[in-house]
Amino acid sequence: MADINLAFQGFIDSALSYISETLPAPLYSFLIDALSHCLALFTAICALVTSLLSTSPFEWNAQKILPPLITLFAAYLALLSFYRTTTWMLRTTVFFVKWGTIFGALIAGVALVMGNAHEHGLGNYDAMAGLGSIFLDLLRGKGRRAAARAWASGSRSHSRTSRTRGSEKRKPKPWESFEQHREWKYDETQAEEDGADAQKVIRDILGGAGKLVKESGWWNAVKGVMEGNAQADALDSDNKDGTKQHSRKSRSQTKAGGSRSR
């Protein structure tokens, strides 16, 4: 057993020395940390299994089970923390590399456009105006597509809500349950109460507006003008009736005088 351990240790040492000579120092340290955590977890599992198999199940107690179990949990949590830290570092590196490349390409494109404009004798204002128009066209196209999608989704949702409302307001059949009849009656009563409340609010608003108009001074002036116009119309009609009667009397008198002279 001792010879096996020595041989295994010699193999591990030679493998680690070869890896350290081949790989860079940061990658070598990362690999050593990962291997150490994996080895700790493996040894904890082996210790727990051997402690459980070395004794019968009737002799298991907390003193024999808890120490290897705690070691196993500690090794597992250490390996999990190492994995999460490594993945977070890789994601952060990829994020910065990606957006750094994008911004670098944009800046290089702007510099190239401005340099070409300067060589051809154009001002920087024209170059920036051209770039601004390009970005605005892109944004407008996206905005139109987004507006069209929103309008289509809104119309679909409106049609769905109208259908659901129509189905909800449908009067239940006589053979349907009492719950549906009661809900339909409650909805109808609620709608009538809402309509009565709305009519009451409208009447209150109109009454308040009429009261305000009547209490103001110009309402009396308008009323006086209207009454004066009505009285003038009545007098004109009376005068017209009087003239018509007077003309009729004069005509009858002339006719009577003519008959007597004959």
* Share of residues in the chain with pLDDT > 90 (%): 6
Say if CB 113 and CB 130 are below 8 A apart: yes
Q: What angle do CA 31, 32, 37 make, to 5 degrees?
A: 100
User: In this predicted model, which residue has the larger pLDDT, 160 or 97?
Assistant: 97
For position 43, what pLDDT does the model report?
86
Cβ atoms within 10 Å of 160's Cβ, excluding its own: 10
Q: What is the average pLDDT across 174-199?
A: 66
185 versus 95: which is more confidently predicted?
95
The pLDDT, as a whole number, for residue 160 is 52
Range with the largest mean pLDDT of 31-45, 158-172, 200-214, 222-236: 31-45
pLDDT at 148 over 60: no
Asked if pLDDT for residue 167 goes beyond 50, the answer is: no
Chain mean pLDDT for the chain:
69
19-24 CB contacts, 8 Å cutoff, 24+ apart? none
Residue 91 has a pLDDT of 93
Q: Is 153 exposed, middle or buried (0-12, 13-18, 19+ CB in 10 A)?
A: exposed
CA distance 40 to 74: 9
CA distances 105 to 100, 101, 137, 159, Å, are 8, 6, 20, 47
User: What one-character-per-residue DSSP string does 77-127 give?
Assistant: HHHHHHHHHHHHHHHHHHHHHHHHHHHHHHHHHHHHHHHHHHHTT--HHHH
Statement: residue 258 has pLDDT above 70: no
Comparing 65 with 206, the larger pLDDT belongs to: 65
pLDDT (mean) for 110-125: 64
Is residue 153 within 8 Å of 162, Cβ to Cβ?
no
For helices 217-261 and 178-215, the axis angle rounded to 10 degrees is: 70
Give the predicted TM-score (pTM) of the model. 0.38
- pLDDT interval class at 1 (50, 70, 90): very low
Helix H or strand E segment including 173 = none
